[in-house]
Amino acid sequence: MARTRDENALSFNTVCPRDAAALLRHTMAVGRPVMLWGPPGIGKSDIIAQIGKSQNRPVIDLRLLLMEPTDLKGIPYYDTKTGLMRWAKPSELPTIVSAEDVTLAENTLARLVDDKAPEEDIKAARHHLEVVAGNFALQNAILFLDEVNAAPQSVQAAAYQLILNRKIGEYILPKGVSIVAAGNRETDKAVTFRMPSALANRFVHLEMKVRFDDWFDWAIDHRVKSDVVGFLKAHPHRLFEFDPKNASKAFPTPRSWVFVSELMSDDMPDNLNQFLVAGTVGDGLALEFMQHRRLKDSLPSVEDILSGRVTKFANPDKVEISALYSLVISLCHSLQDFAVDNKSDSKAWETATTNFLEFTMNNLSNEVAVLAAVTAIRKYKIDFVFGSKAFDKFYEKYGESVNAYN
């Protein structure tokens, strides 16, 4: 029997963000340059930034679309000492320096200060130390060549030398620097130039695909607003809707939804918020999202729920599920903050978590209640009071479903 292929399934070189990050770490450790492909706004550059942060490695972000060949190769100048044409090193790229070079620069500055040398000499030595120390900090940097295939072919040719030989002109890239490039696909209708086959053959090619579960975890870790997370949890297909044939300038991507989270303001009238959302993810989606937001705002407040002032609300089964998802995320946000602010008050903590569990059992469907528990325990690392009456009751009712939840 012939197998059918799910159009959403990943091919062998098409990876979700989580797998892309793991593969990037491996290929960088091996010393092979990687090319990340994907449509706009799916988080290619963000993955590089996260890897840099997790490995304590600075990221040198070069947008090749905005560069000229001399920005990479340097500007030629006449060396009066040798009578030869030389190339000035690009300021964005690090020079090879060692710890001994830094120590020497430090000692030189200290000696000049001790000897009460002229201020100009001390100033020059201090500047030299800053340059040497700055370059030393970049010896294990990640060189991120973004929009590489959007750059003119003259710039690609300069980048080719750097990627292929790890040098360009007289400049040599430090051994510890990893090279990663990124670009949009030709099918995305973005500005692209076909990459020379010799350059393409130098890379390990990975095409990124959006996966909601990865974004959901990322959004929780980065405290994306509950309105956005709840809406997308109920409508995960709305996370990314990019059609290169559509002329609309605003469309939903993981990046644009983060913009929505940052732009929304409770101090701004709804109609103005809607303009901002429409200008970020599109008109039709803005209408849906604002309706969701109004429904969520009609629910009991997080403060009233965790304090126990509200234990039930009318007709919870008639509330749009996306609004309930947003309420769950808001409750988990607040519980996490409460844990930080009330570490030593075990009684207050037990009261807040008990009210959370009681409200969940009294008002939410089995599906949403299980999601609330899984989100609180697995995503927000909420430490419920095991053995408490509320926890035992909740576990008896939902424990099996929570344990089986994937």
Residue 179, domain member (yes or no): yes
Condensed to tens digits (0 to 9), the pLDDT of residues 3-41 reads: 333 334 444 568 888 899 999 999 999 999 999 998 888
For residues 249 and 184, state if they share a domain.
no
Would you state the structure tokens that stand for residue 215, as one six-digit string? 């974004």
Torsions phi, psi of 115, nearest 5?
-85, 0
Residue 164, domain member (yes or no): yes
More confident site: 70 or 244 = 70
CATH number at residue 188: 3.40.50.300
Q: What is the pLDDT of residue 87?
A: 81
If one counts the domains in the chain, the total is 3
Residue 2, domain member (yes or no): no
CA dist 309 and 332 (Å) reads: 18
For residues 65 and 133, state if they share a domain.
no
pLDDT tier at 48, thresholds 50, 70, 90: very high
For residues 164 and 300, state if they share a domain.
no
For residues 289 and 362, state if they share a domain.
yes
For residues 90 and 203, state if they share a domain.
no
Nearest-Å Rg of the Cα atoms of the chain is 27
Would you state the structure tokens that stand for residue 326, as one six-digit string? 């947003």
CA dist 256 and 242 (Å) reads: 11
Give the domain-ending residue among 109, 137, 165.
137
Residue 102, domain member (yes or no): yes
Give the domain-ending residue among 180, 208, 236.
208
pLDDT beyond 70 at 188: no
For residues 392 and 314, state if they share a domain.
yes
Condensed to tens digits (0 to 9), the pLDDT of residues 124-138 reads: 999 999 999 999 999
Helix (H, G, I), strand (E, B) or coil at 175: coil
Average pLDDT, the chain: 87
For residues 241 and 329, state if they share a domain.
yes
CA dist 183 and 145 (Å) reads: 9
For residues 176 and 254, state if they share a domain.
no
pLDDT beyond 70 at 199: yes
For residues 257 and 182, state if they share a domain.
no
For residues 272 and 392, state if they share a domain.
yes
Condensed to tens digits (0 to 9), the pLDDT of residues 230-242 reads: 999 989 999 998 8
Domain that holds residue 261: 212-404
For residues 256 and 348, state if they share a domain.
yes
Residue 1, domain member (yes or no): no
Residue 7, domain member (yes or no): no
pLDDT tier at 266, thresholds 50, 70, 90: confident
Q: What is the pLDDT of residue 337?
A: 87
pTM of the model: 0.78
For residues 114 and 151, state if they share a domain.
no
Tell me the C-alpha to C-alpha distance, in Å, between residue 281 and each of 50, 84, 100, 260, 265. Answer: 24, 55, 52, 8, 16
Residue 283, domain member (yes or no): yes
Condensed to tens digits (0 to 9), the pLDDT of residues 356-395 reads: 999 999 999 888 899 889 988 888 888 888 888 888 999 8
Give the domain-ending residue among 116, 137, 158.
137
Tell me the C-alpha to C-alpha distance, in Å, between residue 136 and each of 12, 107, 125, 176, 283. Answer: 38, 16, 16, 11, 49
